[in-house]
A = this chain, B = another copy of it.
Amino acid sequence: MSNIIDPIIILVQPQLGENIGATARAMLNCGLTSLRIVKPRDGWPNSKAVRSSSGAESIIYNAGIYQTSLEALSDLNFTLACTSRKRDLSKNQLNIDDALDQYLENSENIGRWGIMFGSESSGLKNDDLDYSDILLSIPSNKSFESFNLSHAVLIVCFHWMKKSRELISNNKDSHTNINNLLATKNDLSGFFSQLENDLEKGGFLYPPEKAPKMIKNLRAIFLRSKLSKKEVKTLRGVITAIKRAGMSL
Seen from chain A, the residues whose Cβ lies within 8 Å of a Cβ on chain B are: 18, 22, 25-26, 28-31, 54-56, 139-141, 144-148, 150-151, 154-155, 158, 161-162, 165, 195, 198-199, 201-204, 214, 217-218, 221-222, 224-227, 231, 234-235, 237-249
Task: List residues of chain B with CB within 8 A of the CB of A162.
Answer: 139
* Pair B238/A218 contact, Cβ less than 8 Å: yes
Task: Write the nearest CB–CB distance from A247 to chain B, whole angstroms.
Answer: 5
A202 contacts which of B161, B214, B240 (Cβ < 8 Å)? Answer: B240
Given contacts A218-B238, A224-B225, A238-B204, contact A245 B246 (CB under 8 A): yes
* Pair B199/A238 contact, Cβ less than 8 Å: yes
Task: Write the nearest CB–CB distance from A121 to chain B, whole angstroms.
Answer: 11
CA distance A231 to B25 in the complex (A): 46
Count copies of this chain in the complex: 2
* Pair B234/A242 contact, Cβ less than 8 Å: no
Task: List residues of chain B with CB within 8 A of the CB of A245.
Answer: 198-199, 201-202, 243, 246
A151 contacts which of B150, B221, B239 (Cβ < 8 Å)? Answer: B150
Given contacts A25-B148, A151-B29, A225-B222, contact A198 B241 (CB under 8 A): yes
Given contacts A238-B204, A247-B249, contact A28 B141 (CB under 8 A): yes
A218 contacts which of B147, B158, B234 (Cβ < 8 Å)? Answer: B234
Q: Lowest 4 CB-CB distances: which A-B pairs, in order?
A: A246-B246, A202-B241, A243-B246, A204-B241
